[in-house]
Amino acid sequence: MRILRKVTIYCLGLLFLAIGVTFSIKSRLGISPVNSIPYIVSLITGIEQGHVIIVIFSIFILLQIILLRRNFKARNLLQIIFSTVFGYFVTFSNFIFSFTPPDHYVFRLLLLVVSMIFIAIGIILYLRANILPMPPEGFMMAIQVITGKEFHKIKTVVDTSLVLTATAFALIFLGGFVGVREGTIIAALFIGKIIGIIEKIFKKQIDALVRFMS
């Protein structure tokens, strides 16, 4: 029962993340660094974004295997399952929230804020479940093992690389800047702060959730 509760909370976190991704796309102010490449590749190929996420995240898992070799733990292959779940959650979320938002900057900014709140809640839930990192974070952790560098420094470099790659793809194949805008920078700067605020305000509820999973 304990593992079932943990998996349920983990998957609920992934669902919140997926909804956050959808709302960030709807805002048209820029998508988060980790999801920037799947979004651009989806626009280029016409393949549904959720399916592209599954492929891109599988590449992150392959990179972990290449970097860690014998130190790669077999249980981390479960990331494939959760990547698939997350991909289908994004597809489901894009379908459910298929509305066209008003083309007003203030409303789009509001959507961006809502997306960051959903992403922050999703991160809190899946991290508290303490099962597995998602493939992008697993890749960053693998780099940390190899280099000994601090995680936040690695994340900054990887996130920047992902955004630059997505921007290059957009310029080459779509003829302009697509998906990477001020919202990408805002998300990078403030999602961590939103996580801190939520954890402070809802500390009792979060602690109760942790006890529920224990």
What's the pLDDT tens digit per position in 98-143? 888 888 899 999 999 999 999 989 988 988 888 888 999 899 999 9
Is the Cα torsion angle 117, 122, 123, 129 positive or negative in sign? positive
The lowest-confidence range among 11-20, 45-54, 174-183, 202-211 is 202-211
pLDDT for residue 31 = 86
Asked if the model's pLDDT at residue 214 lies above 80, the reply is no
pLDDT for residue 111 = 94
Report pLDDT digits (tens) over 40-60.
999 999 999 999 999 999 999
pLDDT for residue 14 = 95
| Element containing residue 165 per DSSP (H, E) | helix 151-169
Range of the domain at 151: 2-213
Asked if the model's pLDDT at residue 174 lies above 90, the reply is yes
Cα–Cα dist 206/201, whole Å = 10
Would you say 178 and 170 are in contact if contact means Cβ atoms under 8 Å apart?
yes
Asked if the model's pLDDT at residue 189 lies above 90, the reply is no
Cα–Cα dist 29/110, whole Å = 11
Cα–Cα dist 31/24, whole Å = 6
pLDDT for residue 106 = 92
Would you say 23 and 118 are in contact if contact means Cβ atoms under 8 Å apart?
yes
What is the tally of structural domains in the chain?
A: 1
In 3D, which of 106, 102, 98, 81 has the Cα closest to residue 23?
98
Would you say 115 and 27 are in contact if contact means Cβ atoms under 8 Å apart?
yes
pLDDT for residue 184 = 85
Mean per-residue pLDDT, 28-49? 92
Q: Tell me the two tokens of residue 158.
A: 């990887």
Cα–Cα dist 8/126, whole Å = 9
State percent of the chain over pLDDT 90.
56
pLDDT for residue 178 = 85
Q: Tell me the two tokens of residue 144.
A: 């940390």
pLDDT for residue 85 = 94
Asked if the model's pLDDT at residue 69 lies above 80, the reply is yes
- Distances in Å between the Cα of 81 and the Cα atoms of 8, 57, 103 are 14, 11, 37
Q: Which stretches of 55-106 are assigned E, i.e. beta strand?
A: none
Of the ranges 27-31, 33-37, 111-115, the best mean pLDDT one: 111-115
